[in-house]
Structure 1
Amino acid sequence: MDQMASTVRQEAEIGRRHTPDFGGRTLLLEIELFALFLAATALTVMGIIPMWAGFIANTVFIYALYTVVHEAVHANISSRRKELRWLDTAAGIVACVPLWLNYHQHKRQHMAHHAHTNEETDPDIYARGSFPGWVFLRLPVALINYFNPVQQYRDCRRFNCTNREIAYTALSFSAYWAALLGLLAAGYWKEVLFLWFVPWWIGQTVMLTFFTWTPHHDHHETGRYRNTRVSLFPFANFLLQGQNYHLIHHMLPAIPYYRYEAAFNELRPILEAKGARIEGLIPDPRNERHETANA
Protein backbone atom coordinates (compact mmCIF):
# COMPACT_ATOMS: atom_id res chain seq x y z
CA MET A 1 0.00 0.00 0.00
CA ASP A 2 2.85 2.39 0.91
CA GLN A 3 4.61 1.46 -2.33
CA MET A 4 1.43 2.15 -4.28
CA ALA A 5 0.98 5.56 -2.59
CA SER A 6 4.60 6.39 -3.34
CA THR A 7 4.08 5.53 -7.00
CA VAL A 8 0.94 7.64 -7.23
CA ARG A 9 2.77 10.58 -5.63
CA GLN A 10 5.51 10.21 -8.25
CA GLU A 11 2.91 10.12 -11.01
CA ALA A 12 1.22 13.22 -9.59
CA GLU A 13 4.53 15.08 -9.53
CA ILE A 14 5.13 14.24 -13.18
CA GLY A 15 1.59 15.41 -13.90
CA ARG A 16 2.23 18.75 -12.21
CA ARG A 17 5.36 19.29 -14.27
CA HIS A 18 3.40 18.79 -17.48
CA THR A 19 0.39 20.92 -16.53
CA PRO A 20 0.84 24.45 -17.93
CA ASP A 21 -0.37 27.62 -16.28
CA PHE A 22 -2.58 28.31 -19.31
CA GLY A 23 -3.51 26.07 -22.24
CA GLY A 24 -3.47 28.72 -24.94
CA ARG A 25 -2.25 26.22 -27.52
CA THR A 26 -5.73 24.68 -27.59
CA LEU A 27 -7.29 28.07 -28.37
CA LEU A 28 -4.80 28.46 -31.21
CA LEU A 29 -5.82 25.04 -32.52
CA GLU A 30 -9.47 26.10 -32.46
CA ILE A 31 -8.74 29.31 -34.36
CA GLU A 32 -6.67 27.44 -36.96
CA LEU A 33 -9.35 24.79 -37.46
CA PHE A 34 -12.18 27.29 -37.88
CA ALA A 35 -10.01 29.30 -40.29
CA LEU A 36 -9.57 26.12 -42.34
CA PHE A 37 -13.29 25.35 -42.26
CA LEU A 38 -14.47 28.86 -43.14
CA ALA A 39 -11.89 29.30 -45.90
CA ALA A 40 -12.54 25.89 -47.43
CA THR A 41 -16.32 26.34 -47.30
CA ALA A 42 -16.25 29.87 -48.73
CA LEU A 43 -13.81 28.99 -51.52
CA THR A 44 -15.89 25.94 -52.46
CA VAL A 45 -19.19 27.85 -52.52
CA MET A 46 -17.57 30.57 -54.65
CA GLY A 47 -16.29 27.95 -57.08
CA ILE A 48 -12.62 28.80 -56.50
CA ILE A 49 -11.72 25.30 -55.33
CA PRO A 50 -13.48 22.04 -56.28
CA MET A 51 -16.00 20.40 -54.00
CA TRP A 52 -13.69 17.48 -53.29
CA ALA A 53 -11.02 19.81 -51.89
CA GLY A 54 -13.50 21.47 -49.56
CA PHE A 55 -14.80 18.05 -48.58
CA ILE A 56 -11.32 16.85 -47.56
CA ALA A 57 -10.53 20.05 -45.65
CA ASN A 58 -13.81 19.94 -43.74
CA THR A 59 -13.40 16.26 -42.89
CA VAL A 60 -10.05 17.10 -41.30
CA PHE A 61 -11.73 19.99 -39.49
CA ILE A 62 -14.49 17.80 -38.03
CA TYR A 63 -12.06 15.05 -37.03
CA ALA A 64 -9.66 17.42 -35.26
CA LEU A 65 -12.20 19.74 -33.64
CA TYR A 66 -13.30 17.38 -30.90
CA THR A 67 -9.88 17.81 -29.27
CA VAL A 68 -10.90 21.40 -28.43
CA VAL A 69 -14.16 20.20 -26.85
CA HIS A 70 -12.30 17.53 -24.91
CA GLU A 71 -9.75 19.99 -23.53
CA ALA A 72 -12.50 22.45 -22.62
CA VAL A 73 -14.50 19.78 -20.78
CA HIS A 74 -11.45 19.08 -18.60
CA ALA A 75 -10.75 22.81 -18.07
CA ASN A 76 -7.37 22.31 -19.72
CA ILE A 77 -7.58 25.65 -21.51
CA SER A 78 -7.81 27.76 -18.38
CA SER A 79 -5.67 25.12 -16.61
CA ARG A 80 -4.25 26.72 -13.42
CA ARG A 81 -5.98 30.06 -14.16
CA LYS A 82 -9.27 29.39 -12.39
CA GLU A 83 -10.52 32.91 -13.06
CA LEU A 84 -10.52 31.99 -16.77
CA ARG A 85 -12.82 28.98 -16.50
CA TRP A 86 -15.33 30.86 -18.67
CA LEU A 87 -12.87 30.43 -21.56
CA ASP A 88 -13.26 26.66 -21.40
CA THR A 89 -17.03 27.00 -21.61
CA ALA A 90 -16.92 29.55 -24.43
CA ALA A 91 -14.36 27.64 -26.50
CA GLY A 92 -16.20 24.37 -25.89
CA ILE A 93 -19.62 25.73 -26.87
CA VAL A 94 -18.24 27.17 -30.13
CA ALA A 95 -16.42 23.94 -30.99
CA CYS A 96 -19.56 21.89 -30.27
CA VAL A 97 -21.62 23.60 -32.98
CA PRO A 98 -20.19 21.91 -36.12
CA LEU A 99 -20.01 18.62 -34.20
CA TRP A 100 -23.73 18.77 -33.31
CA LEU A 101 -22.82 18.35 -29.65
CA ASN A 102 -24.44 20.02 -26.64
CA TYR A 103 -21.61 21.23 -24.42
CA HIS A 104 -23.06 20.97 -20.90
CA GLN A 105 -24.69 17.63 -21.52
CA HIS A 106 -21.55 16.26 -23.13
CA LYS A 107 -19.38 17.48 -20.26
CA ARG A 108 -21.44 15.56 -17.72
CA GLN A 109 -21.45 12.51 -19.95
CA HIS A 110 -17.69 12.59 -20.38
CA MET A 111 -17.09 13.01 -16.65
CA ALA A 112 -19.28 9.93 -16.08
CA HIS A 113 -17.03 8.04 -18.51
CA HIS A 114 -13.98 8.93 -16.44
CA ALA A 115 -15.70 8.01 -13.18
CA HIS A 116 -16.93 4.63 -14.46
CA THR A 117 -14.49 3.65 -17.22
CA ASN A 118 -15.37 0.23 -18.67
CA GLU A 119 -18.01 -0.38 -16.00
CA GLU A 120 -21.56 -1.23 -17.02
CA THR A 121 -22.56 2.37 -16.25
CA ASP A 122 -19.84 3.84 -18.48
CA PRO A 123 -21.58 5.97 -21.17
CA ASP A 124 -19.06 4.59 -23.68
CA ILE A 125 -19.70 0.93 -22.85
CA TYR A 126 -21.76 0.73 -26.04
CA ALA A 127 -18.41 0.41 -27.83
CA ARG A 128 -17.71 -2.97 -26.21
CA GLY A 129 -17.44 -5.70 -28.82
CA SER A 130 -15.78 -6.47 -32.13
CA PHE A 131 -14.47 -3.85 -34.54
CA PRO A 132 -16.91 -4.77 -37.37
CA GLY A 133 -19.79 -4.56 -34.91
CA TRP A 134 -18.54 -1.15 -33.79
CA VAL A 135 -18.17 0.31 -37.28
CA PHE A 136 -21.28 -1.14 -38.89
CA LEU A 137 -23.76 -1.33 -36.01
CA ARG A 138 -23.05 0.37 -32.68
CA LEU A 139 -21.33 3.52 -33.94
CA PRO A 140 -23.92 4.32 -36.67
CA VAL A 141 -26.71 4.03 -34.09
CA ALA A 142 -24.82 6.38 -31.77
CA LEU A 143 -24.30 8.91 -34.58
CA ILE A 144 -27.96 8.82 -35.62
CA ASN A 145 -28.92 9.52 -32.00
CA TYR A 146 -27.10 12.86 -32.18
CA PHE A 147 -30.17 14.02 -34.14
CA ASN A 148 -32.74 12.39 -31.87
CA PRO A 149 -34.26 14.92 -29.42
CA VAL A 150 -35.76 12.17 -27.25
CA GLN A 151 -32.35 10.54 -26.82
CA GLN A 152 -30.75 13.90 -26.06
CA TYR A 153 -33.33 14.56 -23.34
CA ARG A 154 -32.84 11.07 -21.89
CA ASP A 155 -29.09 11.65 -21.77
CA CYS A 156 -29.61 14.94 -19.96
CA ARG A 157 -31.63 13.12 -17.34
CA ARG A 158 -29.27 10.15 -17.20
CA PHE A 159 -26.25 12.35 -16.51
CA ASN A 160 -28.02 14.60 -14.01
CA CYS A 161 -28.01 17.83 -16.00
CA THR A 162 -29.53 20.76 -14.14
CA ASN A 163 -32.73 22.33 -15.43
CA ARG A 164 -30.65 25.20 -16.82
CA GLU A 165 -28.37 22.77 -18.64
CA ILE A 166 -31.39 20.92 -20.04
CA ALA A 167 -32.77 24.23 -21.27
CA TYR A 168 -29.45 25.11 -22.88
CA THR A 169 -29.30 21.69 -24.53
CA ALA A 170 -32.80 22.14 -25.93
CA LEU A 171 -31.90 25.63 -27.17
CA SER A 172 -28.67 24.57 -28.84
CA PHE A 173 -30.29 21.47 -30.37
CA SER A 174 -33.12 23.61 -31.77
CA ALA A 175 -30.66 26.19 -33.10
CA TYR A 176 -28.70 23.48 -34.90
CA TRP A 177 -31.84 22.16 -36.57
CA ALA A 178 -33.01 25.68 -37.48
CA ALA A 179 -29.67 26.46 -39.16
CA LEU A 180 -29.66 23.15 -41.01
CA LEU A 181 -33.24 23.45 -42.26
CA GLY A 182 -32.62 27.08 -43.23
CA LEU A 183 -29.65 26.12 -45.40
CA LEU A 184 -31.62 23.31 -47.02
CA ALA A 185 -34.58 25.61 -47.68
CA ALA A 186 -32.20 28.10 -49.29
CA GLY A 187 -31.13 25.44 -51.78
CA TYR A 188 -27.71 24.60 -50.34
CA TRP A 189 -28.42 20.87 -50.03
CA LYS A 190 -25.32 19.84 -51.98
CA GLU A 191 -23.05 22.08 -49.88
CA VAL A 192 -24.62 20.81 -46.66
CA LEU A 193 -24.20 17.22 -47.79
CA PHE A 194 -20.62 17.37 -49.05
CA LEU A 195 -19.17 20.17 -46.93
CA TRP A 196 -20.72 19.19 -43.62
CA PHE A 197 -22.79 16.02 -43.27
CA VAL A 198 -20.53 13.50 -45.03
CA PRO A 199 -17.37 15.08 -43.52
CA TRP A 200 -19.16 14.99 -40.16
CA TRP A 201 -20.01 11.31 -40.48
CA ILE A 202 -16.49 10.35 -41.58
CA GLY A 203 -14.72 12.65 -39.14
CA GLN A 204 -16.83 11.50 -36.20
CA THR A 205 -16.37 7.85 -37.18
CA VAL A 206 -12.59 8.17 -37.20
CA MET A 207 -12.47 10.34 -34.07
CA LEU A 208 -14.77 8.12 -32.02
CA THR A 209 -12.90 5.03 -33.14
CA PHE A 210 -9.62 6.40 -31.78
CA PHE A 211 -11.12 8.12 -28.73
CA THR A 212 -13.54 5.36 -27.71
CA TRP A 213 -13.14 1.93 -29.31
CA THR A 214 -9.40 1.59 -29.88
CA PRO A 215 -8.01 2.94 -26.58
CA HIS A 216 -10.45 1.03 -24.34
CA HIS A 217 -10.93 -2.24 -26.22
CA ASP A 218 -11.98 -4.73 -25.07
CA HIS A 219 -13.81 -2.57 -22.49
CA HIS A 220 -13.60 -4.99 -19.56
CA GLU A 221 -10.81 -3.80 -17.27
CA THR A 222 -11.26 -1.07 -14.70
CA GLY A 223 -7.85 -0.77 -13.02
CA ARG A 224 -5.88 2.47 -13.08
CA TYR A 225 -3.17 1.07 -15.34
CA ARG A 226 -5.34 -1.20 -17.50
CA ASN A 227 -8.64 0.60 -18.23
CA THR A 228 -7.11 2.05 -21.38
CA ARG A 229 -3.84 1.71 -23.25
CA VAL A 230 -0.96 3.33 -25.11
CA SER A 231 -0.70 2.86 -28.86
CA LEU A 232 2.73 3.41 -30.46
CA PHE A 233 3.24 3.54 -34.21
CA PRO A 234 4.86 6.01 -36.66
CA PHE A 235 3.34 9.53 -36.55
CA ALA A 236 0.73 8.34 -34.02
CA ASN A 237 1.03 11.40 -31.78
CA PHE A 238 0.36 13.74 -34.72
CA LEU A 239 -2.34 11.69 -36.43
CA LEU A 240 -4.28 10.95 -33.25
CA GLN A 241 -3.66 14.32 -31.55
CA GLY A 242 -2.07 12.58 -28.61
CA GLN A 243 -4.88 10.08 -28.05
CA ASN A 244 -2.50 7.21 -28.70
CA TYR A 245 -1.43 8.06 -25.12
CA HIS A 246 -5.00 7.76 -23.85
CA LEU A 247 -3.80 6.06 -20.67
CA ILE A 248 -1.92 9.22 -19.72
CA HIS A 249 -5.12 11.22 -20.09
CA HIS A 250 -7.10 8.90 -17.82
CA MET A 251 -4.37 8.79 -15.20
CA LEU A 252 -3.67 12.54 -15.24
CA PRO A 253 -6.53 14.37 -17.01
CA ALA A 254 -5.18 17.86 -16.21
CA ILE A 255 -2.32 17.32 -18.66
CA PRO A 256 -3.18 18.84 -22.08
CA TYR A 257 -3.12 16.67 -25.19
CA TYR A 258 0.10 18.22 -26.50
CA ARG A 259 2.06 17.11 -23.43
CA TYR A 260 0.90 13.49 -23.26
CA GLU A 261 3.97 12.19 -25.07
CA ALA A 262 6.47 13.91 -22.76
CA ALA A 263 4.57 12.70 -19.70
CA PHE A 264 4.46 9.16 -21.08
CA ASN A 265 8.22 9.14 -21.63
CA GLU A 266 8.72 9.96 -17.95
CA LEU A 267 6.06 7.55 -16.74
CA ARG A 268 6.97 4.63 -18.96
CA PRO A 269 9.09 2.70 -16.39
CA ILE A 270 6.21 2.89 -13.91
CA LEU A 271 3.66 1.87 -16.53
CA GLU A 272 5.71 -1.10 -17.67
CA ALA A 273 6.18 -2.23 -14.07
CA LYS A 274 2.42 -1.98 -13.51
CA GLY A 275 1.62 -4.05 -16.59
CA ALA A 276 0.06 -1.25 -18.65
CA ARG A 277 -0.93 -2.10 -22.20
CA ILE A 278 1.70 -0.51 -24.47
CA GLU A 279 0.97 -1.79 -27.94
CA GLY A 280 0.74 -0.82 -31.59
CA LEU A 281 -2.11 0.57 -33.63
CA ILE A 282 -4.34 -2.48 -33.25
CA PRO A 283 -5.26 -3.73 -29.75
CA ASP A 284 -3.44 -6.99 -29.06
CA PRO A 285 -5.93 -9.66 -27.88
CA ARG A 286 -3.09 -11.50 -26.12
CA ASN A 287 -2.96 -8.62 -23.63
CA GLU A 288 -6.64 -8.71 -22.77
CA ARG A 289 -7.83 -9.66 -19.30
CA HIS A 290 -11.56 -10.11 -19.04
CA GLU A 291 -11.55 -10.13 -15.29
CA THR A 292 -11.61 -6.78 -13.46
CA ALA A 293 -8.06 -5.62 -12.90
CA ASN A 294 -7.01 -4.21 -9.56
CA ALA A 295 -4.83 -1.12 -9.44
Structure 2
Amino acid sequence: HGNINGNNKKLQWLNDLCGYLAAPLISVPYASHRYEHMNHHRHTNQADKDPDFVISGMQHGFVSFIKTVLVFIWMQITYFARVKWDTAPTKERAIYCAELMFSLGWRVALLAYAPSIELALVLVLGFLLGGTFTAYWFAYRPHIPYQETARYRNTNNLIVPVWLKPFEWIWVGQNLHAIHHLFPRVPFYKYHALYSDIEPILRKQGTPILGVFSRKPV
Protein backbone atom coordinates (compact mmCIF):
# COMPACT_ATOMS: atom_id res chain seq x y z
CA HIS A 1 0.00 0.00 0.00
CA GLY A 2 3.00 2.30 -0.07
CA ASN A 3 2.94 2.78 3.69
CA ILE A 4 6.70 3.17 3.90
CA ASN A 5 7.24 5.84 1.28
CA GLY A 6 3.80 7.49 1.57
CA ASN A 7 3.46 10.34 -0.92
CA ASN A 8 7.21 10.55 -1.47
CA LYS A 9 7.59 8.85 -4.86
CA LYS A 10 11.36 9.14 -4.61
CA LEU A 11 11.30 6.56 -1.82
CA GLN A 12 9.20 4.03 -3.72
CA TRP A 13 12.36 1.93 -4.08
CA LEU A 14 12.56 1.64 -0.28
CA ASN A 15 8.97 0.46 -0.05
CA ASP A 16 9.62 -2.19 -2.73
CA LEU A 17 12.95 -3.19 -1.18
CA CYS A 18 11.22 -4.03 2.10
CA GLY A 19 8.76 -6.19 0.18
CA TYR A 20 11.47 -8.01 -1.75
CA LEU A 21 13.53 -8.63 1.41
CA ALA A 22 10.59 -10.03 3.38
CA ALA A 23 9.24 -12.21 0.57
CA PRO A 24 11.91 -14.96 0.59
CA LEU A 25 11.27 -15.61 4.29
CA ILE A 26 7.63 -16.53 3.67
CA SER A 27 8.10 -17.88 0.13
CA VAL A 28 5.44 -15.60 -1.33
CA PRO A 29 6.92 -13.42 -4.10
CA TYR A 30 6.34 -9.72 -3.56
CA ALA A 31 5.68 -9.41 -7.31
CA SER A 32 2.77 -11.81 -6.88
CA HIS A 33 1.41 -10.76 -3.49
CA ARG A 34 1.01 -7.07 -4.26
CA TYR A 35 -1.33 -7.82 -7.19
CA GLU A 36 -3.23 -10.43 -5.24
CA HIS A 37 -3.65 -8.23 -2.20
CA MET A 38 -4.83 -5.18 -4.14
CA ASN A 39 -7.48 -7.31 -5.86
CA HIS A 40 -8.54 -8.54 -2.44
CA HIS A 41 -9.08 -4.92 -1.40
CA ARG A 42 -10.97 -4.04 -4.58
CA HIS A 43 -13.31 -7.04 -4.42
CA THR A 44 -13.47 -7.96 -0.74
CA ASN A 45 -15.74 -10.97 -0.08
CA GLN A 46 -16.87 -11.23 -3.71
CA ALA A 47 -16.64 -14.98 -4.30
CA ASP A 48 -15.90 -14.68 -8.01
CA LYS A 49 -13.37 -11.82 -7.77
CA ASP A 50 -11.71 -11.75 -4.34
CA PRO A 51 -8.67 -14.08 -4.49
CA ASP A 52 -8.70 -14.32 -0.69
CA PHE A 53 -12.26 -15.65 -0.67
CA VAL A 54 -10.84 -19.16 -0.84
CA ILE A 55 -9.87 -18.77 2.81
CA SER A 56 -13.55 -18.86 3.80
CA GLY A 57 -13.28 -22.64 3.39
CA MET A 58 -11.65 -22.78 6.83
CA GLN A 59 -15.09 -22.72 8.43
CA HIS A 60 -16.16 -26.11 7.02
CA GLY A 61 -14.37 -28.51 9.34
CA PHE A 62 -10.84 -29.75 10.06
CA VAL A 63 -10.14 -31.40 6.71
CA SER A 64 -11.38 -28.34 4.86
CA PHE A 65 -9.28 -26.15 7.17
CA ILE A 66 -6.05 -27.97 6.24
CA LYS A 67 -6.92 -28.11 2.54
CA THR A 68 -7.82 -24.42 2.52
CA VAL A 69 -4.47 -23.41 4.03
CA LEU A 70 -2.56 -25.33 1.35
CA VAL A 71 -4.71 -23.92 -1.45
CA PHE A 72 -4.37 -20.41 -0.03
CA ILE A 73 -0.57 -20.62 0.17
CA TRP A 74 -0.34 -22.04 -3.36
CA MET A 75 -2.66 -19.30 -4.65
CA GLN A 76 -0.46 -16.62 -3.10
CA ILE A 77 2.70 -18.04 -4.67
CA THR A 78 1.26 -18.60 -8.15
CA TYR A 79 -1.12 -15.64 -8.48
CA PHE A 80 1.19 -13.65 -10.71
CA ALA A 81 1.78 -16.61 -13.04
CA ARG A 82 -1.93 -17.36 -13.35
CA VAL A 83 -3.41 -13.87 -13.51
CA LYS A 84 -0.74 -11.34 -14.55
CA TRP A 85 1.79 -13.28 -16.63
CA ASP A 86 0.23 -12.67 -20.06
CA THR A 87 -0.03 -8.90 -19.60
CA ALA A 88 3.03 -8.24 -17.42
CA PRO A 89 6.16 -6.66 -18.94
CA THR A 90 9.26 -8.81 -19.28
CA LYS A 91 10.95 -7.08 -16.34
CA GLU A 92 8.16 -8.04 -13.94
CA ARG A 93 8.17 -11.62 -15.19
CA ALA A 94 11.92 -11.81 -14.64
CA ILE A 95 11.61 -10.40 -11.11
CA TYR A 96 8.86 -12.88 -10.24
CA CYS A 97 10.96 -15.82 -11.50
CA ALA A 98 14.03 -14.52 -9.66
CA GLU A 99 12.06 -14.28 -6.43
CA LEU A 100 10.85 -17.86 -6.78
CA MET A 101 14.35 -19.17 -7.48
CA PHE A 102 15.91 -17.23 -4.60
CA SER A 103 13.17 -18.29 -2.17
CA LEU A 104 13.71 -21.95 -3.02
CA GLY A 105 17.45 -21.56 -3.51
CA TRP A 106 18.38 -20.36 -0.03
CA ARG A 107 16.50 -23.27 1.51
CA VAL A 108 18.19 -25.82 -0.75
CA ALA A 109 21.59 -24.22 -0.13
CA LEU A 110 21.05 -24.32 3.64
CA LEU A 111 20.14 -28.01 3.53
CA ALA A 112 23.10 -28.76 1.28
CA TYR A 113 25.44 -26.99 3.72
CA ALA A 114 24.00 -28.63 6.84
CA PRO A 115 21.87 -31.61 5.77
CA SER A 116 19.65 -33.00 8.50
CA ILE A 117 16.11 -34.24 8.99
CA GLU A 118 15.66 -31.74 11.81
CA LEU A 119 16.56 -28.77 9.62
CA ALA A 120 14.32 -30.01 6.82
CA LEU A 121 11.43 -30.32 9.27
CA VAL A 122 12.07 -26.81 10.59
CA LEU A 123 12.05 -25.39 7.07
CA VAL A 124 8.94 -27.29 5.96
CA LEU A 125 6.90 -27.27 9.16
CA GLY A 126 7.95 -23.72 9.97
CA PHE A 127 6.73 -22.62 6.56
CA LEU A 128 3.42 -24.48 6.91
CA LEU A 129 2.78 -23.39 10.50
CA GLY A 130 3.63 -19.78 9.66
CA GLY A 131 1.35 -19.92 6.64
CA THR A 132 -1.45 -21.39 8.74
CA PHE A 133 -1.06 -18.74 11.44
CA THR A 134 -1.08 -15.94 8.87
CA ALA A 135 -4.00 -17.34 6.90
CA TYR A 136 -6.12 -17.80 10.03
CA TRP A 137 -5.42 -14.61 11.97
CA PHE A 138 -4.69 -12.14 9.17
CA ALA A 139 -7.12 -13.34 6.49
CA TYR A 140 -9.82 -15.63 7.88
CA ARG A 141 -10.84 -14.20 11.26
CA PRO A 142 -11.07 -10.54 10.16
CA HIS A 143 -13.53 -11.40 7.37
CA ILE A 144 -15.94 -13.93 8.89
CA PRO A 145 -18.69 -14.62 7.79
CA TYR A 146 -17.70 -13.61 4.22
CA GLN A 147 -21.23 -12.51 3.36
CA GLU A 148 -20.99 -8.71 3.21
CA THR A 149 -19.38 -6.75 0.38
CA ALA A 150 -20.29 -3.16 1.36
CA ARG A 151 -17.29 -0.92 2.06
CA TYR A 152 -17.87 -0.27 5.74
CA ARG A 153 -19.23 -3.74 6.52
CA ASN A 154 -17.07 -6.23 4.63
CA THR A 155 -14.41 -6.46 7.34
CA ASN A 156 -14.47 -6.75 11.14
CA ASN A 157 -12.92 -4.82 13.96
CA LEU A 158 -12.13 -7.45 16.60
CA ILE A 159 -11.85 -6.04 20.12
CA VAL A 160 -9.09 -7.70 22.14
CA PRO A 161 -9.33 -7.92 25.98
CA VAL A 162 -6.59 -6.24 27.98
CA TRP A 163 -4.96 -9.52 29.01
CA LEU A 164 -4.51 -10.44 25.33
CA LYS A 165 -2.74 -7.22 24.34
CA PRO A 166 0.65 -8.93 23.79
CA PHE A 167 -0.99 -11.07 21.12
CA GLU A 168 -2.41 -7.95 19.51
CA TRP A 169 1.15 -6.69 19.12
CA ILE A 170 2.08 -9.90 17.28
CA TRP A 171 -1.09 -9.41 15.23
CA VAL A 172 0.29 -5.93 14.36
CA GLY A 173 -3.10 -4.34 14.88
CA GLN A 174 -4.88 -6.37 12.20
CA ASN A 175 -7.66 -7.14 14.68
CA LEU A 176 -8.81 -3.64 13.64
CA HIS A 177 -8.91 -4.93 10.09
CA ALA A 178 -11.75 -2.67 8.99
CA ILE A 179 -9.43 0.27 9.60
CA HIS A 180 -6.88 -1.31 7.27
CA HIS A 181 -9.46 -1.82 4.53
CA LEU A 182 -10.99 1.62 4.85
CA PHE A 183 -7.65 3.44 5.05
CA PRO A 184 -4.91 1.12 3.73
CA ARG A 185 -2.29 3.89 3.63
CA VAL A 186 -2.49 4.30 7.42
CA PRO A 187 0.37 2.36 9.11
CA PHE A 188 -0.63 -0.31 11.61
CA TYR A 189 0.74 1.57 14.64
CA LYS A 190 -1.84 4.31 14.07
CA TYR A 191 -4.88 2.01 13.80
CA HIS A 192 -5.97 2.50 17.41
CA ALA A 193 -5.76 6.29 17.27
CA LEU A 194 -7.77 6.39 14.05
CA TYR A 195 -10.28 3.88 15.40
CA SER A 196 -10.86 6.07 18.46
CA ASP A 197 -11.39 9.13 16.25
CA ILE A 198 -13.94 7.55 13.91
CA GLU A 199 -15.64 4.92 16.10
CA PRO A 200 -19.00 6.79 16.08
CA ILE A 201 -18.90 6.89 12.26
CA LEU A 202 -18.06 3.19 12.08
CA ARG A 203 -20.98 2.31 14.32
CA LYS A 204 -23.34 4.48 12.30
CA GLN A 205 -22.17 2.80 9.08
CA GLY A 206 -22.72 -0.65 10.57
CA THR A 207 -19.08 -1.73 10.68
CA PRO A 208 -18.86 -5.01 12.65
CA ILE A 209 -17.21 -4.31 16.03
CA LEU A 210 -17.02 -7.70 17.68
CA GLY A 211 -15.44 -9.52 20.58
CA VAL A 212 -12.40 -11.40 19.34
CA PHE A 213 -13.63 -14.72 20.79
CA SER A 214 -17.41 -14.34 21.05
CA ARG A 215 -17.78 -12.60 17.67
CA LYS A 216 -20.72 -10.78 19.23
CA PRO A 217 -21.23 -7.00 18.94
CA VAL A 218 -19.28 -4.95 21.48
Q: Does 1:127 align with 2:44?
A: no
Aligned to 2:9: 82
Alpha-carbon distance, 1:131 to partner: 5.7
Aligned to 1:141: 71
State whether residues 78 and 85 of structure 1, in contact with CA within 8 Å, keep that contact through their aligned partners in structure 2: yes
The SS at the match of 1:184 is helix
After TM superposition, the score normalised by the length of structure 1 is 0.64
Percent identical pairs in the alignment equals 29
How has the CA–CA distance of structure 1 residues 229 and 146 changed in structure 2, closer, same or farther, with 3 Å as cutoff?
Answer: closer
The SS at the match of 1:279 is strand
State whether residues 55 and 135 of structure 2, in contact with CA within 8 Å, keep that contact through their aligned partners in structure 1: no
Q: Select 2:107's aligned residue among 153, 172, 180.
A: 180
Q: Which one-letter code corresponds to 2:68 in the other structure?
A: R
Alpha-carbon distance, 1:201 to partner: 1.7
Q: Select 1:224's aligned residue among 133, 151, 161.
A: 151
Matched residues in 2 for 1:90 and 1:239: separation?
Answer: 22
Matches within 5 A, 1:77-226: 77-119=4-46, 120-129=48-57, 130=59, 132=61, 135-143=65-73, 153-157=81-85, 161-190=88-117, 192-226=119-153
Please say which structure displays the higher CA radius of gyration.
1
CA RMSD of aligned residues (A): 2.4
Alpha-carbon distance, 1:167 to partner: 1.6
Moved more, 77-86 or 112-121: 77-86
How has the CA–CA distance of structure 1 residues 84 and 215 changed in structure 2, closer, same or farther, with 3 Å as cutoff?
Answer: same
Matched residues in 2 for 1:224 and 1:141: separation?
Answer: 26
The higher-RCO structure (CA 8 Å, 6+ apart) is 1
State whether residues 217 and 283 of structure 1, in contact with CA within 8 Å, keep that contact through their aligned partners in structure 2: no
Matched residues in 2 for 1:225 and 1:152: separation?
Answer: 29
Matched residues in 1 for 2:85 and 2:174: separation?
Answer: 29
Q: Which one-letter code corresponds to 1:83 in the other structure?
A: K
Q: Which runs of 5+ in 1 are unaligned?
A: 1-73, 288-295
